[in-house]
Amino acid sequence: MSRIAYVNGRYLPLAAAQVRVEDRGFLFGDGIYEVVYVARGRFIDAEKHLARLERSLRETRIAMPVGRRALEGVLREVQARNRITESGLIYIQVTRGAARREHVFPKAGTRPTLVVTARALPPFPKNVDAWATGIITGPDQRWDRCDIKTVNLLPNVLAKQAAKEAGAFETAFIDAEGMVTECASSNIWIVDAAGQLRTRPLSHDILPGCTRAALAELLAGEGVTLEERAFSQDELRAAREVFITSATSFVRPITRVDGAAVADGAVGPVTRRLFAAFTRHVLGGLPNAA
Ligand code: PLP
């Protein structure tokens, strides 16, 4: 079955879907995006993702292309037309539209470009040990508004490729002070050497992850306290446990950092517990048939 994309009001086969050559997303990276995970037909943390999309548009002064209700309708339609029932993602991108190439904003009334696509993903991971992976570290070379989910992802692309070439899944970014910010496409958490769960506080330095926020809301029920305090590269290497969060990584254990084992190299008890809690959050308490 061929995939279907939504582009500015039309549903088209992916291969036939197009935006203009002078689209500002293409010319300047002048656009924002969102990724929503779909499990068993449900959009996971949809309210958080749509609120962040609206915030990204406000911060970049791009107009909302359609109202919230209409956008939700488009997301449902794209999900249905691509038959994303069990496990998949919805991708939403909004740019400042197409206009003659000039850095300044195009004239008032230029219609923003809205693109929505979807694709199936492997089933939600059943086994937390098999879900564990490795990361490398590298310098954070991004701009100072990383809290906006823009499509300007060149540093992230280069960092993900570096990780892949090193046999790892992600790169944890290190800032000029030697502190960890986040990963190329996920937030990062540790259980430090003293046993405290930590992640970097929200600021312009990191993306306010929807999975980060959803997991933070689950912590009280798990009897786990969180300290939002930045940690250094050395603390990352000395951590008892490390995991990352994102809409498609969920809670993903990290058992290798720069090729060295985290603690004894096995998934730790806090990560195990939070993976289970997040699994219930995503699958609605139903057993994972996958
Ligand atoms: N940080 C960065 C740089 C990201 O690109 C992402 C997701 O793509 C995240 C964090 C995690 O955000 P979320 O949990 O909303 O997917």
Give the closest residue (by CA) to ligand 1 atom 10: 186
Pairing verdict, β 241-246 and 187-191: antiparallel
Q: Listing from the earlier edge strand, what are the strands of the sheet with 87-95?
A: 10-13, 4-7, 113-120, 87-95, 31-39, 42-43
CA-based nearest residue to 251, from 265, 264, 268: 268
40: left (phi over 0), alpha (psi -120 to 50) or beta: left
Q: What is the pLDDT of residues 205-249, one digit of tens each?
A: 999 999 999 999 999 999 999 999 999 999 999 999 999 999 999
Atom of ligand 1 nearest to the CA of 182: 1
Task: pLDDT tens for the chain, 290 residues: list them.
Answer: 689 999 999 999 999 999 999 999 999 999 999 999 999 999 999 999 999 999 999 999 999 999 999 999 999 999 999 999 999 999 999 999 999 999 999 999 999 999 999 999 999 999 999 999 999 999 999 999 999 999 999 999 999 999 999 999 999 999 999 999 999 999 999 999 999 999 999 999 999 999 999 999 999 999 999 999 999 999 999 999 999 999 999 999 999 999 999 999 999 999 999 999 999 999 986 555 44
CA of 108 to the centre of ligand 1 (A): 31
Residue 109 Cα to ligand 1 midpoint, Å, equals: 31
Please report the atom of ligand 1 found closest to the CA of residue 156. Answer: 3
* CA-angle at 213, arms to 5 and 146, nearest 5°: 70
- Indicate if 149 belongs to the active site: yes
* CA-wise closest residue to 13 among 1, 24, 27, 25: 1
Answer yes or no: are the C-beta atoms of 24 and 106 closer than 8 Å: yes
Report yes or no: 137 and 258 within 8 Å, Cβ to Cβ: yes
